[in-house]
Structure 1
Amino acid sequence: MSFTIIATWRMAFEGVSEATKILRDNGSASEAIETAIKCVEDNPLYTSVGYGGLPNNVGTVELDAAYMNGDTLGLGAVASIKDYANPVSIAKKLSEDRFNIFLVGSGAEAYAHTQGFERKNMLTQLSNKAWKERMKEIHEKNLSPYDGHDTVGMVVIDHNKSMVAATSTSGLFMKKPGRIGDSALPGSGYFVDSEIGGATATGLGEDIMKGCLSYEVVRLMEEGYTPQNAADKAVNDFSEKLKRKNGVVGAISLVCINNQGEWGVGTNVEFPFVVASDQHEPKIYISNNEDGKKTTYTIANL
């Protein structure tokens, strides 16, 4: 094994492809993951991440992102940050500090300004149009406002066996201002330890954060579970718990890699993801867990 990268959702394919080039040239996991996630953040067609992300219920794009270094356990995160491009890079910069590593709202924006990050209006015509249409539907048809919460999350191991994890999202469409999901929360939306492995999550953050699922996957891998078995156990057990306690469970999906570059996926819905390694070019897979026990996946038809 030289390197492996795994990412949530089909939208990560171009970014994973760029990261693979870096890793094939013996680049670092850190450089590769930042490049890959920025590719998603910068594409206005991906309306749940970065530029063109779907706004909150007052029409403002608020972004959450996180970055974690598995060698040091250093992490950085921003939440509810407005008008700054590439929040994953801001989170990565924060991960280099000892204190004040998780900043929100105006505090995150002030930090980004002092560090010279690009200020940018992240609301596009497309996302503003979607917001106006949803507001009209809510008023006329009494529909639920919430739709769209696809976090891009990635885990990478490089040729030095260094591991990193990162996430980026605009969060729940039509969320209340200041709402934060799981994506920026360590242990919930992401966790990585280069001595064991790493995981990231996507889905309904309000449910995912109740179980600290990314940490749970890494914990299970430390106990000896394969990445696939760890992901299945974490998602399936917690989905059943939420059903038992609340009668309902939202979409939950996880991707993970252990410190040998082996990967796994757990989900309770149909879920596309992307994987690449030194042995395999980037591929999009579609996963399902129809029996509530074992996640299966096939290569997507493009």
Structure 2
Amino acid sequence: MKRRKFIKAASLTSVGLAVGGSLMSCNEAVSKESKEQNEEAIADLKGLPLVVATWHVKAATAKAMEILQTGGNALDAVEQGCRVEEADKKNQTVGKGGLPDRDGKVTLDASIMDKHGNCGSVVYLQNITHAVSVARKVMEDTPHVMLAGEGAKQFALSKGFEPEDLLTEASKKAWEKWKVEAQYKPIINIENHDTIGLLALDKNGDISGACTTSGLAYKLGGRVGDSAIIGSGLFIDNDIGGCVATGLGEEVIKTVGSFLVVELMRQGRSPQQACEEAIHRIVKKPNSNFMDFQVGYIAINKKGESGCYSIHQWFSMTKFQDGVNAQIQSDYFNKS
């Protein structure tokens, strides 16, 4: 019995070694083929580097492109591009000067994601201008993905960020005017709920993305939209592409929009086709009231192609590629 068991075990081991050896050879071949295909894909890329952003933000895309052209990577580019808009007091959708919630507090949401799938975000952050940079610190310096409220603020202060009052006189006056009637309703394409999102593809063919916002103006205290939720407001897969969303965050969250766009590209859709399908998923939902809100997507893929699409007219994308920094009007669903 012992001998028979030994022979059986030895036979199985031999088969196992043979099969294992074959599998190892197969895996090595697949690995080599994948590496060669990736190298060929990078070699075939045209128009690198590439930067795209939601809305008309040429200063932001110019800064991001400057980073890419002076040796920086895609992650550096999207962070620095977002910081331009966060510091602009005239932009009432992000950072300093953002429109407050209904209690007069400016609260910020932001996220960032790199080529490895690492990500960080902050929600309900107050008194810190550069929320996107705090999100990057969360990604790089903590084991977490998201920090919220006072915890996010204290973390930012511990990292050397300076506290400041983000409510400018212009935003304060707008809030006081709103309080007279206090109508709580998003207005299509009016800057009371728009996100600044950036995607970059660097010369190495690597993709990163970031988005930052002060959220829906005059929102309920504590409200968080899609911008800081990985997969909804932002998603990157370095093998496929990236997407960011803008508009009414609640509707983006319901379809996990940015993840959806990237997965559609994985299935073979172009960035444009993927953005269109993601919008269709929103407007075709039962009882959708899409006539009352706007959502827009922008996306890029590994080939350096880009796309954008929205529910209503007048959404736009800023694209910096081949030396041209241009605003592109998006196609849209509602043509009635």
Matched, 1:40 2:82: no
Give me the whole-angstrom Cα distance separating, in 1, the residues matched to 2:232 and 2:249: 9
5 Å-filtered alignment, 1:239-258, equals 239-241=283-285, 244-248=286-290, 250-258=293-301
| Structure 2 unaligned spans of 5+ | 1-45
2:130 is aligned with what amino acid? N
Q: Counterparts of 1:6-85 in structure 2 under 5 Å? A: 6-10=52-56, 12-69=57-114, 71-85=115-129
Deviation at 1:193, TM superposition (A): 1.1
Q: Aligned equivalents of 1:182 and 1:21: distance in 2?
A: 28
1:108-130 alpha-carbon deviations (Å, 9 max, x no partner): 01111111112111110110011
Structure 1 counterpart of 2:171, from 115, 127, 148: 127
The residue that corresponds to 1:259 in the other structure is 302
Distance 1:202 1:216 in 2: 14
How far apart, CA to CA, are the structure 2 residues paired with 1:37 and 1:173? 19
Q: Secondary structure of 2:181's match?
A: helix
* 1:115 aligned partner: 159
Number of matched residues?
283
1:216-253 deviation per Cα after TM superposition (whole angstroms, max 9, x unaligned): 01001111111111111111232211xx2344463110
Deviation of residue 260 (structure 1)?
1.4
Q: Contact conserved, 1:146 with 1:174, CA < 8 A, in 2?
A: no
Structure with the largest fraction of helix: 2
How far does residue 290 in structure 1 lie from its aligned partner after superposition? Answer: 4.8
Give the aligned residue type for 1:43: D
Output one character per residue of 1:125-165: Cα deviation in whole Å (capped at 9) or x when no partner.
Answer: 11001100110133xxxx33545101001111101111111
Give the Cα–Cα distance (whole angstroms) in 1 for the partners of residues 223 and 281 of structure 2. 26
Task: Return the index of the structure with the highest Cα Rg.
Answer: 2
Taking the TM superposition and a 5 Å limit, the aligned residue runs for 1:177-216 are 177-216=221-260
2:137 paired residue number: 93
Distance in structure 1 (CA, Å) of the matches to 2:333 and 2:154? 46
Q: How does 1:140-289 map to 2 (within 5 A)?
A: 143-144=183-184, 146-147=186-187, 148-241=192-285, 244-248=286-290, 250-270=293-313, 271-277=315-321, 279-289=322-332
TM-score (norm 2): 0.81
Tell whether the 8 Å contact from 2:297 to 2:310 is kept in structure 1 after alignment: yes
Residue 269 of structure 1, CA deviation: 1.3
Is the 8 Å Cα contact of residues 134 and 145 (structure 1) preserved in structure 2? Answer: no
**Per-residue deviation, 1:98:** 5.7
Q: Once the 2 structures are TM-superposed, how far is the Cα of residue 212 of structure 1 from its aligned partner?
A: 0.3
TM-score by length of 1: 0.90
- CA contact 1:190–1:214 (8 Å) conserved in 2: yes
For residue 260 of structure 2, what is the amino acid of its counterpart? E
The amino acid that maps onto 1:133 is K
How many angstroms does 1:280 deviate by? 3.7
RMSD: 1.5
Q: Secondary structure at the match of 2:85?
A: helix
CA change 1:134–1:118 in 2 (3 A) is same
Residue 98 to residue 42, structure 1, CA distance change in 2 (3 Å): closer
5+ unaligned residues in a row in structure 1: which ranges? 293-302
C-alpha spacing 1:27/1:82, structure 2 compared with 1 (3 Å): same
Picking from 39, 49, 56, the partner of 1:3 is: 49
Aligned to 2:20: none
